[in-house]
Amino acid sequence: MDNHRGVLVCGEIGEGKLAPITIELLGVGRKLADELDEDLSVLLMGSQAGSLGQETIAYGADNVYVAEDSLLDHYNSDAYTQVAADLCREMSPSIVLLGHTDIGSDLAPRLNARLGGGLATGCLALSIDPETRLLVSTRPVFGGNAHATVVSKSAKPQMATIRPKTVPPAERDDSRQGRIIPVESKLDPSAIKVKVVERVKEEVEGIKLEDAEVVVVGGRGIGSAENFEMLRELANVLGGAVGATRPPCDEGWVPATLQVGQSGRMVSPKLYIGVALSGAMAHISGILGSKVIVAINKDEEANIFNVAHFGIVADYKEVLPPLTAKLKELVGS
């Protein structure tokens, strides 16, 4: 008999707070658990885990397992895998969800190898098949040109990593009730072979791309590092952030951290403006959560116009300066 039950989210903590991906995983995890009529549990690791237990319940968890050990304060492959695998063996969840983040992408395959489950990585959507009650994971394949649905028919737990900003975050309700359960840490420091030798914090100028409500993305057609200044001016007026497709990053016109798309950042702003980019699937798969998509391209056949709500067919150098000037006038800056 299959004794796997419940949904377990491996949560992430960043700077003492629940990381945004944890709240997104709670949103999708709650939905899956409700459909199965089973519990939603969350594992939090690190000295601050306990202090975030109540908030995690407010975001939808029935049970919060807290492993409060200073060895878990920063992500460590060996330590996190050990604690998460021990908990999974003890509670036998049917579904385990992680973020498709640096942490989740490292932890998920290690955990899956130890548990012998089925893993779908980089998913965009998750649902439950009403007939089989199995997890259905949707993930982009072939450079984002197609979507595959993945079902693990017999291996349990069914595991998935979900891309940031692809599912709506859970809504907070402080009246929710749940249990905070301490996890006894059986970590043996000598078994931790990975050592973090240095931690470098990424310097971000202005608003982080993933958090911006307006994102202005430049493509290969921008032509040079200097020309990106026109995009920065537009983004500044709108209080937004600048991103790029892959070619400007490869050319060194902008840092690689600004790449938006399948192998870069996923964005879901209120307004996305794509300038001089063709709209390749590998880029589009990273912007589909945007509420309004505006495209500027001199080629009216460019694929970006197929997903854009508004399009301007023109040379961007002729469009951006008057557009920025007019917006400046309108917002009064």
Ligand X SMILES: Cc1cc2nc3c(=O)[nH]c(=O)nc-3n(C[C@H](O)[C@H](O)[C@H](O)COP(=O)(O)OP(=O)(O)OC[C@H]3O[C@@H](n4cnc5c(N)ncnc54)[C@H](O)[C@@H]3O)c2cc1C
Q: Is 110 in the site for ligand X (CB under 6 A)?
A: no
Q: Is 299 in the site for ligand X (CB under 6 A)?
A: yes
* Residue among 23, 1, 2 at smallest CA distance from 157: 2
Phi, psi of 40 (to 5 degrees): -105, 120
Q: Is 80 in the site for ligand X (CB under 6 A)?
A: no
Span near ligand X by CB under 6 A; candidates 15-23, 66-74, 130-138, 315-323: 315-323
Q: For residues 87 and 312, which CB has a smaller minimum distance to ligand X in the complex?
A: 312
Residues 6+ apart with CB under 8 A from 325: none
Tokens of 305: 């116009």
Span near ligand X by CB under 6 A; candidates 53-61, 99-107, 173-181, 243-251: 243-251
Question: What is the spatial distance between Cα 217 and Cα 308, in angstroms, rounded to a whole number?
Answer: 13
Residues in the interface with ligand X (CB under 6 A) total 28
The nearest distance, CB 160 to ligand X, in angstroms, is: 20
The nearest distance, CB 302 to ligand X, in angstroms, is: 4
DSSP state of 298: S
Span near ligand X by CB under 6 A; candidates 69-77, 124-132, 194-202, 272-280: 272-280
Q: Residues 177-216 vs ligand X: string with x where CB under 6 A?
A: ----------------------------------------
Question: What is the spatial distance between Cα 139 and Cα 285, in angstroms, rounded to a whole number?
Answer: 10
Residue labelled with tokens 């998460």: 84
Strands (E), 170-270: 179-182, 214-218, 241-244
Q: For residues 183 and 217, which CB has a smaller minimum distance to ligand X in the complex?
A: 217
The nearest distance, CB 224 to ligand X, in angstroms, is: 11
The correct pick among 57, 273, 302, 320 for binding ligand X (CB under 6 A) is 302
Q: Could you give the dihedral angle defined by the CA atoms of residues 82, 87, 93 and 96, in that order, rounded to the nearest 10 degrees? A: -40
The nearest distance, CB 285 to ligand X, in angstroms, is: 8
Q: Is 229 in the site for ligand X (CB under 6 A)?
A: no
Q: For residues 9 and 235, which CB has a smaller minimum distance to ligand X in the complex?
A: 235
Sign of the Cα pseudo-torsion (39, 45, 49, 50, in order): positive
**Count of CA atoms in the C-beta half-sphere (13 A) of 218:** 31
Span near ligand X by CB under 6 A; candidates 6-14, 50-58, 117-125, 279-287: 279-287
The nearest distance, CB 125 to ligand X, in angstroms, is: 19
Residues 6+ apart with CB under 8 A from 90: none
Tokens of 169: 């975050």
Span near ligand X by CB under 6 A; candidates 13-21, 33-41, 74-82, 281-289: 281-289
* Residue among 254, 245, 299, 253 at smallest CA distance from 274: 245
The correct pick among 29, 46, 164, 221 for binding ligand X (CB under 6 A) is 221
